[in-house]
């Protein structure tokens, strides 16, 4: 039918009562219908203003038919269609997909994708310039520094001046009041320059070239595909996928790269700039709100061609996405564990599919999920077998802590201490890795055995000696370190049990008093600038010994680092979670990969109580493939992921009784049928978290069973009320 809405308005009842679904950024079950006033013609994706209760809200005209649950007479009218770029169909598809896959209300997912403020007019940025001529004023040293910093003609921002001249705002204000500084409009923010695909890159080895050719073909095909780019650390995976980005640039299309720890990726950014002449746009939570607005808009207008970001970059409004790359695809950091519980790697593949673009997953130690997808023919695989330029893989040694234990109250075994000493004596760098922050994970009273526990969580308080406090790593609760036992009042009886990174640092200082030590943990490295500084200090050999938590494991390239010592290689194996072994192999392989990345060969020492464990043997022999086959063989029979599906229900309540009751009710209403198993309810390992009592149930199904409909029916049958909450974690990777 071909009729214009305003032709015969009175004859066309449905025109007068035209309604459209509008999704609002709130956790409602779905979109609401709104009546469309005659003068408006909203289309799916349009950003609109609608009434909600007594307020006006921004929403998005959604896809699908209106639901007619509200009668025409009670239907409220849309207020306006905003003059903003509509939300793209692929983003709406992504929102719907994530909502339905993770059982999250779509409006809640929408909050990640809707950013109307990005299109607000930017205030004119103001800064300062020098008055000319300068008035006769008293010139102090700080004032002199400010004036010197303004020697050029370009005005500069106040904050920048304060930083460079190391002065307070008062100094600037004083100069302005005296007429020595005048307000001035700052030059426009630097645009997002186009990376130059033809900027000279390295000459690829034949293996690398073959891999690059496959990726290039995937990009020029302009169609959805998934390729797993696999190769040992240092084999040139990054160089290879930079080639794919070059191809995408030549195609004039945009690229999204997800990194697990973008805030710590200064070296990656340097490499990108070296390859393409300019930096890419970055997206992560540390950006200023202005940069965030500018970046969002530049992506949406197709001005930012390459964006590297954290999980949330998935929701950027790329108009012409031609390539999606997920580096370190096996990283569990891609799983968001709070709020909307989703896996950014998996959703990146979904986004690529919705945009009909190729995705590339990159790892030295791919997840069993991705390996299984390759085996099933769903993903392609390209493989780089060797380290680039003849650099050899580090030699792995296991240090049996039973045979050569550390001295009493020490944690570094004599063979490791000897290795470090020898490395430092050769003028090379060493690294100690322990994935545990603080001084000691447990504080115990020698007199009565009392253990210092968090009052809000089922967890020990971790000592942070430098801060003189005990802290819960789950809820943040902290108390000053007591001098007497709170239980038996014995003085000076509290003893630190086990090592954290602070304690290892103390021991290392005692063993190597002359070594220049750098500690890299989230407590000491705050944000990207500090991380970049630390990396530079290591590259410049201003550091001899690096001591770090998992933040040292990822991606870094330190050419002078030749020894890596893993203080407790068994640490991740306990806890009995499904992927404990896989994750330990991945993490330790990553850490090991930091050693010997240039000419000098590297060596890795793993301290362990169980050298015979398959994880240690896999690392020792460098045979990850056999290890993964073994993992697969163990998981396949029980339909454990990736050969079956898992979803967790986490019940929490103010009281243990409330949690138990709900968990029991859920247990009774559990789905059953062929290929469906429900485990639990059981107390969660973190039975109390932030004062909430927690129980878990686990739904495990064959791969061909769709878990979402089961979950929906299950949850609908047992509604939560009062303080009780049920969180759903589809494809869980932590089981706390």
Q: Which of the choices Zn ion, ligand ADP, none does residue 238 contact, using the CB cut-off of 5 to 8 A by kind?
A: ligand ADP
Specify the DSSP element, H or E, that contains 603.
strand 603-608
Kindly give the pairing relationship between strand 306-309 and strand 281-283.
Answer: parallel
Place of tokens 């909203």: 42
Q: Does 594 bind ligand ADP (CB under 6 A)?
A: no
Place of tokens 């921002």: 157
Closer by beta carbon to ligand ADP, 231 or else 499: 231
Q: Which of the choices Zn ion, ligand ADP, none does residue 204 contact, using the CB cut-off of 5 to 8 A by kind?
A: ligand ADP
Burial class (CB in 10 A: 0-12, 13-18, 19+), 75: middle
Q: How far is the CB of 682 from Zn ion (least distance, A)?
A: 21
Q: Does 554 bind ligand ADP (CB under 6 A)?
A: no
Alpha helices in 362-498 (DSSP H): 368-375, 414-425
Q: Does 423 bind ligand ADP (CB under 6 A)?
A: no
**Which pair of structure tokens corresponds to residue 702?**
């064959």
Alpha helices in 607-687 (DSSP H): 614-621, 624-635, 656-668
Q: How far is the CB of 469 from Zn ion (least distance, A)?
A: 13
Asked whether 439 and 666 are in contact (CB, 8 A), the reply is no
Stretch that binds ligand ADP, among 102-110, 201-209, 291-299, 345-353 (CB under 6 A): 201-209
**Which pair of structure tokens corresponds to residue 552?**
């040292």
- Per-residue contact track with ligand ADP, 605 to 644, x per CB under 6 A? ----------------------------------------
List 60, 87, 90, 208, residue binding ligand ADP (CB under 6 A): 208
Asked whether 624 and 585 are in contact (CB, 8 A), the reply is yes
Residues in 266-285 that interact with Zn ion by CB under 5 A:
none
**Which pair of structure tokens corresponds to residue 400?**
């049996």
Place of tokens 């709170």: 486
List 16, 129, 477, 613, residue binding Zn ion (CB under 5 A): 477
Stretch that binds ligand ADP, among 32-40, 197-205, 649-657, 718-726 (CB under 6 A): 197-205
Q: How far is the CB of 265 from ligand ADP (least distance, A)?
A: 12
Closer by beta carbon to ligand ADP, 233 or else 419: 233
Partners of residue 177 on adjacent β-strands: none
Place of tokens 């309604």: 19
Tell me whether the omega of the peptide bond preceding residue 642 falls within 30 degrees of 0, making it cis: yes
Closer by beta carbon to Zn ion, 691 or else 709: 691
List 312, 456, 458, 708, residue binding Zn ion (CB under 5 A): 456
Q: Does 462 bind Zn ion (CB under 5 A)?
A: no
Q: Does 234 bind ligand ADP (CB under 6 A)?
A: yes
Closer by beta carbon to ligand ADP, 102 or else 208: 208
Q: Which of the choices Zn ion, ligand ADP, none does residue 363 contact, using the CB cut-off of 5 to 8 A by kind?
A: none
Among residues 83, 94, 57, 99, the alpha carbon closest in space to that of 316 is found at 94
Q: How far is the CB of 452 from Zn ion (least distance, A)?
A: 12
Direct distance between the N- and C-terminal alpha carbons of the chain, in angstroms, rounded to an integer: 57
Asked whether 534 and 520 are in contact (CB, 8 A), the reply is yes
Closer by beta carbon to ligand ADP, 46 or else 328: 328
Q: Does 684 bind Zn ion (CB under 5 A)?
A: no
Q: Does 613 bind Zn ion (CB under 5 A)?
A: no
List 90, 207, 230, 239, residue binding ligand ADP (CB under 6 A): 239
| Buried-exposed string 467-486: b where 16+ CB fall within 10 A, e elsewhere | eeebbbbbbebeeebeeebe
Q: How far is the CB of 330 from Zn ion (least distance, A)?
A: 29
Among residues 572, 443, 557, 465, the alpha carbon closest in space to that of 509 is found at 465
Q: Does 231 bind ligand ADP (CB under 6 A)?
A: yes
Q: Does 688 bind Zn ion (CB under 5 A)?
A: no
**Which pair of structure tokens corresponds to residue 452?**
């210092």
Q: How far is the CB of 600 from ligand ADP (least distance, A)?
A: 14
Residues in contact with 451: Cβ distance below 8 Å, sequence separation at least 6, in sequence order: 442, 443, 444, 445, 460
Closer by beta carbon to Zn ion, 325 or else 459: 459
Q: How far apart are CA 406 and CA 432, in angstroms?
A: 15
Q: Does 596 bind ligand ADP (CB under 6 A)?
A: no
Q: How far apart are CA 542 and CA 559, in angstroms?
A: 13
Q: How far is the CB of 461 from Zn ion (least distance, A)?
A: 8
Partners of residue 432 on adjacent β-strands: 547, 565
Phi then psi dihedrals of residue 603, to 5 deg? -140, 145
Q: How far is the CB of 462 from ligand ADP (least distance, A)?
A: 32
Report CA dihedral (281, 283, 289, 290) to the nearest 10 degrees: 10
Q: Does 557 bind ligand ADP (CB under 6 A)?
A: yes
Give the C-alpha distances (Å, rounded to integers) separating 46 from 20, 292, 296, 305, 651. 11, 22, 17, 24, 38
Closer by beta carbon to ligand ADP, 213 or else 447: 213
Q: Does 680 bind ligand ADP (CB under 6 A)?
A: no
Closer by beta carbon to Zn ion, 194 or else 478: 478
**Which pair of structure tokens corresponds to residue 715?**
């949850």
Q: How far apart are CA 473 and CA 454, in angstroms?
A: 9
Residues in contact with 266: Cβ distance below 8 Å, sequence separation at least 6, in sequence order: 528, 531, 532, 535
Listing DSSP states for 572-584 in one string gives GGTT--TTHHHHH
Q: Which of the choices ligand ADP, Zn ion, none does residue 220 contact, using the CB cut-off of 5 to 8 A by kind?
A: none
Stretch that binds Zn ion, among 168-176, 470-478, 483-491, 515-523 (CB under 5 A): 470-478
Q: How far is the CB of 478 from Zn ion (least distance, A)?
A: 9
Closer by beta carbon to Zn ion, 34 or else 460: 460
Q: Does 394 bind ligand ADP (CB under 6 A)?
A: no
Count of residues binding ligand ADP (CB under 6 A)? Answer: 15
Biggest alpha carbon–alpha carbon distance for the chain: 93
Stretch that binds Zn ion, among 12-20, 465-473, 519-527, 673-681 (CB under 5 A): 465-473
Q: Which of the choices Zn ion, ligand ADP, none does residue 475 contact, using the CB cut-off of 5 to 8 A by kind?
A: Zn ion
Q: How far is the CB of 364 from ligand ADP (least distance, A)?
A: 6
Contacting residues toward Zn ion, per CB under 5 A: 454, 456-457, 472, 474-475, 477
Residues that bind ligand ADP (CB under 6 A): 202-205, 208, 231, 233-239, 388, 557
């Amino acid at each position: 039918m071909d009729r214009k809405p305003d032709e015969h308005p009175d004859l066309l009842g449905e025109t007068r009562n035209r309604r459209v679904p509008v999704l609002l950024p709130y956790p409602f079950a779905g979109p609401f219908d709104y009546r469309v006033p005659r003068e408006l013609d909203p289309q799916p994706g349009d950003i609109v203003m609608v009434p909600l209760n007594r307020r006006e809200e921004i929403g998005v005209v959604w896809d699908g038919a209106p639901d007619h649950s509200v009668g025409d007479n009670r239907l409220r009218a849309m207020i306006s269609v905003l003059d903003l770029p509509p939300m793209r169909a692929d983003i709406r598809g992504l929102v719907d997909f994530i909502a339905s896959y993770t059982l999250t209300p779509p409006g809640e997912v929408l909050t990640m994708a809707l950013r109307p403020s990005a299109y607000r007019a930017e205030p004119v940025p103001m800064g300062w310039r020098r008055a000319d001529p300068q008035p006769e004023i008293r010139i102090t040293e700080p004032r002199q520094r400010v004036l010197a910093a303004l020697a050029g003609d370009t005005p500069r921002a106040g904050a920048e001046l304060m930083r460079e001249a190391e002065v307070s705002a008062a100094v600037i204000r004083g100069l302005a009041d005296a007429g020595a500084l005048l307000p001035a409009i700052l030059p426009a923010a630097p645009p997002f320059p186009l990376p130059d695909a033809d900027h000279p890159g390295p000459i690829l080895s034949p293996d690398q070239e073959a891999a690059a050719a496959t990726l290039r073909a995937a990009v020029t095909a302009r169609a959805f595909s998934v390729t797993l780019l696999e190769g040992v650390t240092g084999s040139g995976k990054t160089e290879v996928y930079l080639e794919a980005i070059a191809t995408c640039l030549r195609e004039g299309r945009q690229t999204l790269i997800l990194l697990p720890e973008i805030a710590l990726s200064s070296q990656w950014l340097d490499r990108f700039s070296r390859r393409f002449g300019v930096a890419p746009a970055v997206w992560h939570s540390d950006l200023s709100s202005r940069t965030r607005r500018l970046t969002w808009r530049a992506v949406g207008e197709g001005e930012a061609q390459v964006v590297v970001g954290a999980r949330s970059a998935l929701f950027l409004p790329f108009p012409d996405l031609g390539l999606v790359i997920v580096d370190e695809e096996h990283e569990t950091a891609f799983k968001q564990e709070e709020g909307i519980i989703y896996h950014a790697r998996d959703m990146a593949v979904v986004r690529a599919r919705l945009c009909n673009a190729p995705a590339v997953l990159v790892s030295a130690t791919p997840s069993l999920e991705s390996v299984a997808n390759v085996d099933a023919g769903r993903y392609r695989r390209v493989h780089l077998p060797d380290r680039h330029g003849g650099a050899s893989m580090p030699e792995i040694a296991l240090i049996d802590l039973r045979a050569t234990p550390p001295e009493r109250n020490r944690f570094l075994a004599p063979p490791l201490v000897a290795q470090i000493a020898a490395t430092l004596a050769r003028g090379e760098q060493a690294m100690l890795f322990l994935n545990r922050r603080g001084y000691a994970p447990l504080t115990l009273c020698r007199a009565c055995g009392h253990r210092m526990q968090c009052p809000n969580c089922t967890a020990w308080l971790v000592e942070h000696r430098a801060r003189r406090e005990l802290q819960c790593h789950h809820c943040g609760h902290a108390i000053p370190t007591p001098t007497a036992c709170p239980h038996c009042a014995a003085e000076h009886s509290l003893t630190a049990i086990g090592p954290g990174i602070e304690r290892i640092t103390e021991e290392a200082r005692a063993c190597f008093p002359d070594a220049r030590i750098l500690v890299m943990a989230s407590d000491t490295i705050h944000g990207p600038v500090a991380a970049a500084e630390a990396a530079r200090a290591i590259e410049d050999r201003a550091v001899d010994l690096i001591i770090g938590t998992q933040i040292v494991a990822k991606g870094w390239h330190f050419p002078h680092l030749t020894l890596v010592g893993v203080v407790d290689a068994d640490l991740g194996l306990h806890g009995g979670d499904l992927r404990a072994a896989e994750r330990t192999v991945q993490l330790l392989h990553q850490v090991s990969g930091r050693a010997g990345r240039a000419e000098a060969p590297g060596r890795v020492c793993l301290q362990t109580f169980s050298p015979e464990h398959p994880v240690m043997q896999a690392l020792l022999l460098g045979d990850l493939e056999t290890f993964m086959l073994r993992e697969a063989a163990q998981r396949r029979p029980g339909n454990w992921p990736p050969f079956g599906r898992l979803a967790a229900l986490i019940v929490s309540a103010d009281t243990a009784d409330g949690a138990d009751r709900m968990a029991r009710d859920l247990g009774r209403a559990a789905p059953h049928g062929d290929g469906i198993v429900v485990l639990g309810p059981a107390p969660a390992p973190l039975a109390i978290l932030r004062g909430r009592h927690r129980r878990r149930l686990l739904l495990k199904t064959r791969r061909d069973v769709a878990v979402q409909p089961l979950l929906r029916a299950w949850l609908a049958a047992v509604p939560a009320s009062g303080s009780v909450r049920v969180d759903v974690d589809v494809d869980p990777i932590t089981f706390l």
